[in-house]
């Protein structure tokens, strides 16, 4: 994916939409692109999780103990719980369509959260919403 296309896609992600172009470029330097075919497992419940993923294109479902508990689409992210608390994945994520996403490793995310408090605040808000079931 071209650098400008990555930046435009990433800027539309609610977690990062309030950031400047400089901040977006800073984050993108630490990301990797991944593509998954429909039916592929992006992450598996119980596995170690060192990466946060942001869906740029496609749809996926979150499966916990064999049951679909949520659906993800463009702009949604997952994997943050394992990244933040250094514990195994709490659910699997399975591609319902072809999925294109960016991945950010734990070490890079931690540096970004320290350097860019607005992202930390957005992430906390998103986590609170998940806890409340919003």
Per-residue pLDDT of the chain (134 residues), as tens digits, is 566 667 777 666 777 766 777 877 878 887 889 999 999 999 999 999 999 999 989 999 999 999 999 999 998 889 988 888 889 999 999 999 999 999 989 898 888 888 878 778 877 887 787 777 75
The pLDDT value recorded for residue 125 is 81
The answer for 59, left when phi > 0, alpha when psi is -120 to 50, beta otherwise, is beta
Alpha-carbon distances, residue 80 vs 3, 69, 76, 100 (angstroms): 24, 16, 11, 18
Number of domains in the chain: 1
> Residue 126's domain is classified under what CATH number?
2.60.120.10
Domain hosting residue 63, numbered range:
3-132
The pLDDT value recorded for residue 1 is 59
What token pair was written down for 51? 């990466």
């Amino acid at each position: 994916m071209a650098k400008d296309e990555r930046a435009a896609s990433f800027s539309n992600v609610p977690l990062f939409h309030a950031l400047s172009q400089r901040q977006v470029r800073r984050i993108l330097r630490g990301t990797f692109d991944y593509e998954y075919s429909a039916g592929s497992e992006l992450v598996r419940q119980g596995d170690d999780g060192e990466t946060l993923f942001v869906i740029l294109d496609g749809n996926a479902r979150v499966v916990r103990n064999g049951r679909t508990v949520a659906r993800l689409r463009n702009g949604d992210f997952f994997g943050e719980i394992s990244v933040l608390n250094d514990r195994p994945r709490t659910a699997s994520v399975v591609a319902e369509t072809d999925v294109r996403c960016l991945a950010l490793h734990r070490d890079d995310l931690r540096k970004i959260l320290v350097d860019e408090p607005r992202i930390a605040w957005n992430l906390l808000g998103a986590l609170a919403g998940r806890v409340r079931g919003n």
